[in-house]
């Protein structure tokens, strides 16, 4: 089986699984307890925070451990709310764990603005500048699109937001962290979401970077863990496995390797003029469509041939259409025929080339059935 749905989830490193087992079965102590073994576990958590801050190239701020990207995004958005007639700004390219929170804010009576995407998939920076004002409390813009791999210029977004308001800037960095090189300090973000299972760590654990703790309030109440911003006993095995996965990744080396794999696949796919490819910065994600062939049908046919791809975000597969591709101005038939291919750096070129040939074979066969 050739797995090409790594934007959905990745296989956990064996060394990360080893750390998980170690902290689940040997060093299983509650880090909030007072005795020595528990204090050693707490030191381990502090080391994990340091590891993530270093990878984010953050000289200030802190890491709040969460159950994953959905909770991190909810905490960043709902935790930023304050009394008063504030406004909120979201790009149309956001993941459901951000976009659906925006919809909830609307239902609660908040003023919410949505910024459309340009045809290349980036946020419309001019439209963003026009909507941000002194009443803006929070702006949310994804770093790398989980649908297309398109990179938003977060530094430019930050400059726009800060020049027109005192708003907070939250960035969903799930498809960027440990995949591209950046510094949250240089980007100018106030909060940034991380999810472990997107970079070969375990599911059910993630983190939220926050520049200034006073910018957020807790949305979960209890024992006051995580500096009183996320109560509940920490998922120590998951956190330590996430740290191990982070330390195993060489971002630059993996970027170059994955870029080579993506180019090899694109070279094969471009042999057929019926394929449309969405250009993107990230080598980890490739969105394509085959004229006249339904994307879901193609993905099912590929599964029968031993190739696993998706038709978009695994968190929105039950929804009709594709909000992000539609926001880019893609025609309905292009949206319906789209599939998402996503890589990891540990695949072989031979695997990718075989997958490319099978994609062409399946798409051409399905296309011929319509004649």
List C-alpha distances in Å: 131 to 52, 89, 162: 33, 8, 13
Instruction: Assess whether 315 carries a catalytic annotation.
Output: yes
- Cα–Cα distance for residue pair 226/219, rounded to 1 Å: 12
282 and 144 Cβ atoms separated by less than 8 Å: yes
Catalytic residue selected from 25, 51, 110, 315: 315
Question: How many beta carbons lie within 10 A of that of residue 208, not counting itself?
Answer: 26
**Helix extents (H) in the chain:** 14-25, 36-55, 69-78, 96-107, 125-131, 154-164, 184-187, 236-248, 251-269, 295-304, 323-327, 332-336, 349-369
Residue 206 C-alpha from the chain's centroid: 11
Per the CB < 8 A criterion, the answer to whether 77 and 294 are in contact is: no
Give yes or no for a contact between 338 and 325, defined as CB atoms under 8 angstroms apart: yes
Q: Contact 52/244 with Cβ under 8 angstroms? A: no
∠ CA 177-205-13, rounded to 5°: 70
The residues assigned a catalytic role are 315
């Amino acid at each position: 089986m050739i797995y090409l749905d790594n934007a959905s989830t990745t296989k956990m490193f064996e060394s990360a699984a080893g750390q998980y087992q170690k902290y689940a079965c040997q060093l299983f102590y509650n880090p909030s307890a007072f005795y020595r073994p528990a204090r050693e576990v707490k030191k381990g958590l502090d080391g994990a925070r340091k590891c993530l801050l270093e990878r984010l190239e953050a000289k200030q701020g802190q890491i709040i451990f969460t159950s994953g990207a959905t909770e991190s995004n909810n905490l960043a958005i709902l935790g930023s709310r304050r009394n008063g007639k504030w406004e909120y700004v979201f790009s149309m390219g956001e993941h459901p764990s951000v976009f659906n929170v925006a919809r909830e804010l609307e239902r609660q009576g908040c003023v919410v603005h949505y910024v459309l995407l340009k045809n290349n998939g980036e946020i419309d920076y001019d439209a963003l500048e026009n909507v941000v004002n002194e009443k803006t409390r929070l702006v949310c813009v994804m770093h790398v699109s989980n649908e297309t791999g398109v990179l938003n210029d977060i530094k430019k977004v930050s400059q726009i937001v800060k020049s027109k308001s005192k708003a907070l800037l939250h960035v969903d960095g799930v498809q960027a962290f440990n995949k591209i090189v950046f510094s949250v300090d240089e980007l100018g973000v106030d909060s940034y979401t991380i999810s472990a299972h997107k970079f070969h760590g375990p599911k059910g654990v993630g983190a939220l970077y926050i520049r200034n703790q006073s910018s957020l309030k807790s949305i979960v109440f209890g024992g006051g863990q995580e500096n009183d911003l996320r109560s509940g006993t920490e998922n120590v095995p998951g956190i330590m496995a996430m740290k191990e996965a982070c330390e195993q990744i060489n971002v630059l080396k993996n970027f170059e390797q994955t870029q080579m794999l993506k180019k090899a696949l694109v070279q094969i796919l471009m042999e057929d003029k019926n394929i449309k490819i969405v250009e993107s910065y990230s080598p980890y994600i490739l969105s394509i469509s085959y004229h006249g062939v339904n994307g879901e049908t193609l993905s099912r046919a590929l599964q029968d041939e031993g190739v696993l791809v998706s038709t978009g975000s695994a968190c929105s597969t039950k929804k009709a259409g594709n909000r992000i591709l539609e926001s880019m101005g893609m025609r309905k038939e292009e949206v319906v025929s789209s599939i998402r291919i996503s890589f990891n750096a540990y695949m072989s070129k031979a695997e990718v080339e075989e997958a490319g040939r099978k994609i062409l074979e399946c798409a051409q066969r399905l296309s011929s059935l319509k004649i």
